[in-house]
Amino acid sequence: MDYMEEAIKEARKALKYGEVPVGAVIVKDDKIISRAYNLKERRNDVTAHAEVLAVREASKYINNWRLTGCSMYVTLEPCPMCAAAIVQSRLSKLYIGAPDIDSGACGSVINLVQNNYLNYWMDVKWQYNDDCSELLSEFFRTKRRKQ
Amino acid sequence: MDYMEEAIKEARKALKYGEVPVGAVIVKDDKIISRAYNLKERRNDVTAHAEVLAVREASKYINNWRLTGCSMYVTLEPCPMCAAAIVQSRLSKLYIGAPDIDSGACGSVINLVQNNYLNYWMDVKWQYNDDCSELLSEFFRTKRRKQ
């Protein structure tokens, strides 16, 4: 199964609701144990980014906040809040579909996932997928038209 | 009202439950609109730090994720996840009771609350209070004795 495609499916749901289209899935033993998309505006919750929601759902599922042995696939490079939540959750691997040059915290603006000062270190794989960035372009094009 | 004292009351609740004792309150127009303490272990949720819970509760209360005009009082310097959540929530002021030399993200290890690269900038006041750090020392002393 192409897990990044599953994350993209989640991002499409966010787009449908007028949210910044970001989606994430968490995989353990070749099974998706959580899936989420950005719900910040709908939930009026600044922490309701796809990654935070996916981490919380996965922890609920395995009844443990430690997500060791799990991988996250996310369509956009996580922001500082999400990057730190991901490292603290002890997720083993992070697959990223597109960079975020404005607020990406996995190397684009700052690096919190591989940071010696914080002792934050995890395995990150960039898995570029045009659909991830195209969804974001579509969102911002539509938003500009509405203004 | 001494709002840092109110945050300390929250931290004491965390200590009672065997959680790292950190507490936070959010104030708007001289009224506490949310109070929270660290519940990471009890909730099995790595994101259930006092600051994140307080931000979410305040947003629910005012029905808006934008906490402009609100201040947070927190007993310990926020970690990177919380610091980023605080800035993104647009809280106007952050009062911190004690530094965290291991993972503080308001200047001790990294600075996410005043960061030009991220365009993250907020008003931070250090309001040192011995009780804030004493609670943490007590927690770690007890923990060591149990080992």
pLDDT in tens, B76-99: 999 999 999 999 999 999 999 999
Higher pLDDT, B145 or A81: A81
Q: Which residues pair with A43 in a beta bridge?
A: none
- Give percent above pLDDT 90 in chain A: 94
Q: Which residues pair with B73 in a beta bridge?
A: B25, B95
- Tell which CATH classification among 3.40.50.970, 3.40.140.10, 3.40.640.10, 3.60.21.10 matches the domain B3-131: 3.40.140.10
Q: For position A147, what pLDDT does the model report?
A: 65
Please name which of A2, A1, A34, A40 lies closest in space to residue A22, comparing C-alpha atoms. Answer: A40
Residues 96-135 (A) with a CB less than 8 A from some CB of B: 103, 105, 109-110, 112, 115, 117-120
pLDDT in tens, B126-144: 999 999 999 999 999 988 7
Interface touch B40/A103, C-beta < 8 Å: no
Domain regions of chain A by residue span? 3-131
Q: Do residues A86 and A118 make contact, with C-beta atoms less than 8 angstroms apart?
A: no
Q: Do residues A113 and A51 make contact, with C-beta atoms less than 8 angstroms apart?
A: no
pLDDT band with cut points at 50, 70 and 90 for residue B147: low
pTM: 0.96
pLDDT in tens, B46-77: 999 999 999 999 999 999 999 999 999 999 99
Tokens standing for A6? Answer: 């599953």
pLDDT band with cut points at 50, 70 and 90 for residue B120: very high
Interface touch A110/B103, C-beta < 8 Å: no
Rounded distance, CA A55 to CA A70, Å?
10
- Given a cut of 90, whether residue A143 has pLDDT beyond it is no
Full DSSP string of A68-110: TTEEEEESSPPPHHHHHHHHHTT-SEEEESS--TTT-TBTTS-
